[in-house]
Amino acid sequence: MSWLSSRRCRLLILLFLCSVAIFLLYVLVNELRFGKLTISFLDVGQGDSIYIDSPTGNHLLIDTGPGNIVLRRLSSQMPFYDRRIDLIIETHPDLDHAGGVPGILTRYDVGGMMTTEKKEIKNIPIILAKRGQVVDLGGGVVLKILFPDRYIEGGDTNTKSIVSELVYGKTKILMTADEPQAVENYLADTDGSNLRADILKLGHHGSKTATSDALLGYAKPTMAIISVGKDNKYGHPSQETLDKLKRFNIPYLRTDEVGTITFVSNGTEIIRK
């Protein structure tokens, strides 16, 4: 074997060992998340998408944003070798919340979908959302459906969009969609102080049509999340909503300003990563 061939052989072996080391490091970093709850409010532009990884490794995706940008965001959250999403919750069929569904169905093995609309997707069970349903994600994490309270044929998609509450120990995360303040006030009248939440994902990207005083008064979150696109044509979030958060002394984070926002469980608490 010539000196040049020997050198090339050593270089190939070194490259192989480096690749193995990088792979093992990647696996280790992701395995360290196993046993913890991770929730990420994905930066998908002008839309909503929330990725939840339970302590037992079950994956839940609430909405998929306006298109395939969700695929890029998920690739930074999930190990490349894990191609399963156990459940997609499509809060309502508007494109800024459901536009990424076709791409997800193409790239991932999806266990089921919860929606507010009757539909058929080959080989995927469809669940119609209704108040009182509980999704057990494992490891002590449950997702409770608060709205809609019944199936509604037709009608405005925003008004019947899904509101859910993620519960892990004493931690609660309340996630609204695009429902108007009338629905928020209905939940305030129905649930009252049970709406208390550590984190509140604001409705309708911070539009003035959502985020009622009643909801904020009962939820009393320590942090609000606004999923919104930079320089969007709708002017979201509205100054009215931002002023309201200030009046209630609620700090907030915006995906258009800080990108994807991730929280990870730390014992009995959940902290920003």
34-64 pLDDT per residue, tens? 589 999 999 999 999 999 999 999 999 999 9
- Structurally, how many domains does the chain consist of? 1
In a domain, 10, yes or no: no
For residues 171 and 187, what is the distance between their CA atoms, to the nearest angstrom? 19
Give the per-residue pLDDT at 21. Answer: 44
- Which is it for strands 171-175 and 163-168: parallel, antiparallel or unpaired? antiparallel
Q: Is residue 77 part of a domain?
A: yes
Q: What is the pLDDT at residue 153?
A: 87
Please tell me whether the overall predicted TM-score, pTM, comes out greater than 0.85 for this model: yes
Per the domain annotation, does 75 fall within a domain? yes
Predicted confidence at residue 27, as pLDDT, reads 43
List C-alpha distances in Å: 4 to 14, 103, 119, 265: 15, 47, 63, 53
Residue 199 domain-assigned (yes or no) = yes
CATH code for the domain in which residue 183 is found: 3.60.15.10
pLDDT at 266: 75
| Average pLDDT for 175-179 | 97
Residue 19, phi then psi, degrees to nearest 5? -65, -40
Q: What range defines the domain where residue 142 resides?
A: 33-272
Q: Is residue 22 part of a domain?
A: no
247 domain residue, yes or no = yes
- The answer to whether residue 11 is domain-embedded is no
Phi then psi for residue 211, to 5 deg, are 60, 70
